[in-house]
């Protein structure tokens, strides 16, 4: 391979073949510009104004009137006039010195907002209440199942004010953001919003959880522990408590004495209580326990105190009753007496169960 000589460029040209510089050939004038479209040499270029000795500005070429620079309109400071001329864009035509002086340092008076600014689109109002999305709300409006102040509204784009009464399926809805709170209820609290006897209520356990006013879904008696849901979504609360939808619930039951195999079979077949026949979906002994006092009971019935009444019917006394599963929700990572906000996945799951 041929060794590169000193001074040889990257393109392989030796130093002696490179293009000579201007100082090497003795030329001091600038060569003709190759990229100039006119092709005029450098010496024939247009002279600058300072080179010609002229101080006045030549006539403007881009001026449509064609007036020379000397005949331009004089500036105000050149004429010696200090007053401002009459405003041309002012319709009254009053001179500048007669205008009303501006008052600085004074704030503008408070302007009360117009009630029209509080209006909200009906589909957004329904969506904020948690009933459905905006697109689905438009379908409900077109179907004629939404009423505002007692009148059916079928026009898309309709707006409502905060004082209007909006109803869907004979249920009044609110524009508040829907909230869902899950509580692991301890023993000794009653499931009510307010108690005239001043006993401890479950509302004191979720105090400060949210600004919205929420209500417990269903009931757990005073000595029953476990999962309790709070929400301001009336649509979901209604469906979770209605027997038609058969919401799944699982209880951990501990009895004062062991449950016999005969009584276990009776519960599986169904019992006739004072308010009708009651059946459980599943009942089993808790695995890993030596005695047969602890059981797991799964059912869909929404009757009041149904678990306690089932065992009382067979002369068994319940010492501990804990709801460990409710509508797909569990007590995982939720200690007794604590609460948490449901995440988006859990809320969607509740809406699918109750749909």
For residue 183, what are the contacts with CB-CB under 8 A and spacing of at least 6? 202, 205, 206, 227, 228, 229, 230, 338, 339
Phi, psi dihedrals of residue 171, rounded to the nearest 5° = -120, 130
221 belongs to the catalytic site? yes
Distance from C-alpha of 6 to C-alpha of 8, rounded to nearest angstrom: 5
8 Å CB contact between 280 and 232: no
Angle, CA of 122, 125 and 126, to the nearest 5°: 90
| Count of alpha carbons within 13 angstroms of residue 185, beta-carbon side | 33
Q: Which candidate in 221, 265, 275, 343 is catalytic?
A: 221
Distance from C-alpha of 78 to C-alpha of 72, rounded to nearest angstrom: 12
For residue 109, what are the contacts with CB-CB under 8 A and spacing of at least 6? none
For residue 253 the two structure tokens come to: 């039951």
Helix (H) or strand (E) holding 351: helix 344-353
Enzyme catalytic residues: 221
């Amino acid at each position: 391979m041929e060794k590169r000589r000193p001074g040889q460029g990257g393109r392989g040209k030796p130093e002696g073949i490179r293009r000579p510089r201007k100082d090497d050939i003795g030329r001091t004038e600038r060569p003709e510009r190759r990229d100039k479209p006119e092709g005029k040499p450098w010496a024939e270029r247009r002279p600058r104004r300072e080179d010609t000795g002229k101080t006045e500005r030549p006539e403007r070429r881009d001026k449509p009137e064609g007036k020379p620079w000397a005949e331009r309109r004089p500036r105000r400071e050149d004429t010696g006039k200090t007053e401002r001329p009459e405003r041309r864009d002012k319709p009254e035509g009053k001179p500048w010195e007669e205008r009303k002086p501006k008052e600085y340092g004074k704030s503008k008076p408070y302007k009360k907002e117009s009630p029209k600014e509080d209006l909200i689109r009906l589909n957004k109002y329904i969506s904020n209440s948690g009933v459905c999305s905006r697109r689905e709300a438009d379908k409900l409006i077109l179907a004629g199942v939404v009423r505002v102040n007692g009148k059916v509204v079928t026009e898309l784009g309709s707006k409502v004010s905060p004082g209007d009464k909006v109803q869907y399926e004979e249920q009044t809805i609110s524009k508040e953001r829907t909230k869902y709170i899950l509580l692991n209820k301890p023993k000794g609290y009653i499931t009510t919003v307010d108690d005239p006897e001043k006993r401890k209520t479950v509302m004191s356990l979720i105090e400060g959880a949210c600004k919205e006013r929420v209500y417990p879904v269903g009931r757990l008696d005073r000595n029953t522990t476990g999962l309790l849901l709070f929400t301001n979504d009336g649509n979901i609360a209604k469906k979770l408590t209605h027997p038609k939808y058969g919401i799944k619930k699982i209880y951990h039951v501990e009895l004062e004495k062991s449950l016999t195999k005969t009584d276990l079979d009776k519960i599986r077949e169904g019992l006739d209580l004072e308010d009708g026949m009651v059946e459980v979906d599943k009942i089993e002994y808790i695995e890993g326990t030596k005695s047969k006092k602890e059981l797991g009971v799964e059912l869909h019935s929404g009757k009041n105190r149904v678990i306690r009444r089932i065992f009382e019917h067979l002369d068994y006394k319940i010492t501990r009753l804990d709801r460990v599963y409710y509508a797909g929700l569990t007590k995982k990572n939720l200690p007794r007496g604590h609460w948490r906000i449901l995440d988006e996945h859990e809320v969607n799951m509740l809406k699918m169960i109750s749909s």
